[in-house]
């Protein structure tokens, strides 16, 4: 799945409305532009793959559990949606923040594929 597809699905899962900008005028990076999340957070430039704050907002909005594990001498960041044991792993290569953001977006995209977020307590 491409980064664009991941972002579009993550936006859908979190209720972010906007449009994808391939080359954002601000820095040339791909982002979602002019979105407003269902929690009322204004997100003029939204990309949880590159922005720690956007990734944290996404994780909290979708109630993801974030963890770090070690398997076969390699570190992984994992994001797990609520009420499931299905985590979405990303290998921590050089940057644990990049891996954590990507795990969060992968879990969010999976929620979109499953029909959205779980608002139940």
Residue 121 belongs to a domain:
no
Distances (CA, A) of 63 to 36, 67, 69, 71, 91: 18, 13, 19, 25, 22
Residue 119 belongs to a domain:
no
Q: Taking the model in full, what pTM does it have?
A: 0.78
Sign for the CA dihedral angle at 95, 15, 111, 25 comes to: negative
If DSSP codes are grouped into helix, strand and coil, which group holds residue 16? coil
Q: Domain range for residue 71?
A: 3-113
Residue 105 belongs to a domain:
yes
| Phi, psi values for residue 21, rounded to 5° | -115, 115
CATH no. for residue 34?
Answer: 3.30.2120
Residue 83 belongs to a domain:
yes
Residue 104 belongs to a domain:
yes
Residue 69 belongs to a domain:
yes
| Phi, psi values for residue 66, rounded to 5° | -110, 135
Domain count, the chain: 1
Residue 50 belongs to a domain:
yes
Beta bridge partners of 80: 65
pLDDT band with cut points at 50, 70 and 90 for residue 121? very low
Residue 35 belongs to a domain:
yes
Question: What are the pLDDT digits (tens) for 42-101?
Answer: 456 788 988 899 899 999 999 999 998 888 888 888 999 988 878 887 778 878 899 999
């Amino acid at each position: 799945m491409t980064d664009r597809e991941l972002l579009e699905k993550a936006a859908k899962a979190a209720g972010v409305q906007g449009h994808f900008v391939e080359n954002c005028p601000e820095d040339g990076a791909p982002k979602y532009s002019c979105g407003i999340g269902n929690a009322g957070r204004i997100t003029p430039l939204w990309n949880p793959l590159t922005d720690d704050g956007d990734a944290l907002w996404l994780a909290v909005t979708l109630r993801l559990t974030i963890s770090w594990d070690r398997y076969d001498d390699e570190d992984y960041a994992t994001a797990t949606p609520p009420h499931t044991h299905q985590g979405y792993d990303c290998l921590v290569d050089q940057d644990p923040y990049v891996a954590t953001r990507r795990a969060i977006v992968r879990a969010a995209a999976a929620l979109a594929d499953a029909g959205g977020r779980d608002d139940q307590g």
